[in-house]
């Protein structure tokens, strides 16, 4: 008989999240997660870049930091500084850029430096589920502010700041995703950005700007970053290569002034983010980033059109959504009779994975009828087939759409 396993139950911290379940593979129709189009990963270009840079500089792997120090591989930081200047209007030096293990590590590092249990943070009412989860685990009070077609509402933000001030509370930061907001995919105008910055200055609250989807605006051009429009280090900026090159290359970046950056470096004790990934990205992106992203946008736009057509075919007017300005996801509202949390559970039993709206809302009850569908990774055939399967499940559980999916074909 096998030996009895050691029981860790009494030793575990009481504030841990629920235990993970064993992974058994992805469902057939996977509309969740930040996965990207498999055929768009520049495999040959990355192979060539890896070969060149390792032949030239491979011996530098003998040193933590690749002779570039704790901020990360300098050629990559130089590329990011140039890219941000050209695309986002940000003027920064490579020494103001920190390479992180994806933008999520940037989020965690800023939270570690700034937040304590009981602190208050302002976020968009609909926002990245990972940010909400992290803030809850830290014991932080989350104040959600409504969005409109222009992103974070400046009227709502002023009301929230004024209300908190009346109770003697000063938020630690305002977290916003201004360009291809997650999950609504709106793009905040420069006028609105100026209003948000003005309120930040008036109430003395810094801004945490998450721009991990900003390369995927359909039109290519995007407004200046909030960081670019501020001149007093009041904005912290994070971005990523996960959405533009490949999610499994866990490379992101954080831009901040030295007073904050020096504190962040003091807690980033991982010996540096993946060295080979940094080297290969710098080598590849120098000559190919712009052309690669232009092609990727076209592919993603085509897949979005397929998903929109599939939803209109299968759900008709029961599925309401706005045409996103970019990104890899669609934010959908279903009739009031549908509970998307329950739909998520039953759909998964039929091989369809979706994000329920409650996971992306500060007020979970307000997300009952909403869901997020990611379209980047599935093939066009799988998108059509998966949406049809989702419609069948939704009809069976909630009589929505009014007729079964097969009758819509």
Which DSSP category does 255 fall into?
E
Percent of the chain with pLDDT over 90: 87
Instruction: Summarize the confidence of residues 306-330 as an average pLDDT.
Output: 97
> Residue 346's Cα: distance from chain center in Å?
26
Tens of pLDDT along 129-168?
A: 999 999 999 999 999 999 999 999 999 999 999 999 999 9
Rounded CA-CA distance 389/392 in Å is 5
Length of the chain: 409
Q: Helix, strand, or coil here: 8?
A: coil
CB 129 within 8 A of CB 175: no
Which pLDDT belongs to residue 246?
94
Pick left, alpha or beta for residue 72 (phi over 0 → left; psi -120 to 50 → alpha; otherwise beta): left
Q: How is residue 69 written in tokens?
A: 């120090």
Instruction: Summarize the confidence of residues 86-98 as an average pLDDT.
Output: 96
Instruction: Give the torsion through C-alpha atoms of 357, 361, 364, 369, to 10 deg.
Output: -30
Q: Is the pLDDT of residue 112 over 80?
A: yes
Tens of pLDDT along 273-308?
A: 889 999 999 999 999 999 999 999 999 999 999 999
Instruction: Summarize the confidence of residues 43-53 as an average pLDDT.
Output: 96
Q: Is the pLDDT of residue 407 over 70?
A: no
What is the Cα gyration radius of the chain? 22
Domains and CATH numbers, the chain: 23-42+291-408 (3.90.1150.10), 43-288 (3.40.640.10)
Taking CB atoms within 8 Å and a gap of at least 24, the contacts of 128-134 are 128/177, 128/182, 128/183, 128/210, 128/360, 129/355, 129/359, 129/360, 130/104, 131/107, 131/175, 131/210, 132/359, 132/360, 132/362, 133/17, 134/107, 134/108
Rounded CA-CA distance 224/87 in Å is 8
Tens of pLDDT along 66-91?
A: 888 999 999 999 999 999 999 999 99
Rounded CA-CA distance 114/388 in Å is 46
Q: What is the mean pLDDT of the chain?
A: 94
Which DSSP category does 68 fall into?
S
Band (271; pLDDT cuts 50, 70, 90): confident
CB 225 within 8 A of CB 90: yes
Place of tokens 């490379």: 251
């Amino acid at each position: 008989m096998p030996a009895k396993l050691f029981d860790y139950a009494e030793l575990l911290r009481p504030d841990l999240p629920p235990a993970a379940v064993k992974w058994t593979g992805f469902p057939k129709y996977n509309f969740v997660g930040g996965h990207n189009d498999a055929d768009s990963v520049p495999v040959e270009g990355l192979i060539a870049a890896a070969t060149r840079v390792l032949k030239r500089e491979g011996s530098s792997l003998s040193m933590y930091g690749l002779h570039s120090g704790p901020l990360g591989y300098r050629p990559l930081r130089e590329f990011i500084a140039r890219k941000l200047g050209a695309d986002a209007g940000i003027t920064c030096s490579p020494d103001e850029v920190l390479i992180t293990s994806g933008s999520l590590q940037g989020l965690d590092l800023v939270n570690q430096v700034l937040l304590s249990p009981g602190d208050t943070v302002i976020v968009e009412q609909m926002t990245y589920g990972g940010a909400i989860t992290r803030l809850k685990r830290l014991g932080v009070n989350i104040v959600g502010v409504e969005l409109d077609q222009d992103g974070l509402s400046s009227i709502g933000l002023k009301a929230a700041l004024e209300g908190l001030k009346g109770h003697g509370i000063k938020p630690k930061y305002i977290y916003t995703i201004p360009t291809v907001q997650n999950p609504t995919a709106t793009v905040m105008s420069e006028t609105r950005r100026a209003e948000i910055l003005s309120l930040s200055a008036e109430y003395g609250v810094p801004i945490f700007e998450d721009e991990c989807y900003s390369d995927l605006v359909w039109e290519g051009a995007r407004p200046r970053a909030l960081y670019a429009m501020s001149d007093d280090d009041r904005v912290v900026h994070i971005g990523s290569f996960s959405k533009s090159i490949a999610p499994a290359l866990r490379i992101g970046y954080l831009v901040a002034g030295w007073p904050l950056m020096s504190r962040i470096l003091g807690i980033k004790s991982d010996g540096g983010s993946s060295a080979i990934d940094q080297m290969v990205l710098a080598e590849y992106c120098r000559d190919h980033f712009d052309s690669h992203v232009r092609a990727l946008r076209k592919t993603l736009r085509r897949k979005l059109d397929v998903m929109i057509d599939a939803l209109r075919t299968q759900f008709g007017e029961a599925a309401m959504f706005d045409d996103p300005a970019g990104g890899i996801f669609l934010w959908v509202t279903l009739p009031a009779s549908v509970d998307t949390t329950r739909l998520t559970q039953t759909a998964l039993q039929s091989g369809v994975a979706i994000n329920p709206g409650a996971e992306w809302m500060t007020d979970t009850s307000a997300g009952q009828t909403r869901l997020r569908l990611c379209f980047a990774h599935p093939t066009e055939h799988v998108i059509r087939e998966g949406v049809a399967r989702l419609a069948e499940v939704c009809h069976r559980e909630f009589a929505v759409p009014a007729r079964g999916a097969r009758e819509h074909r």
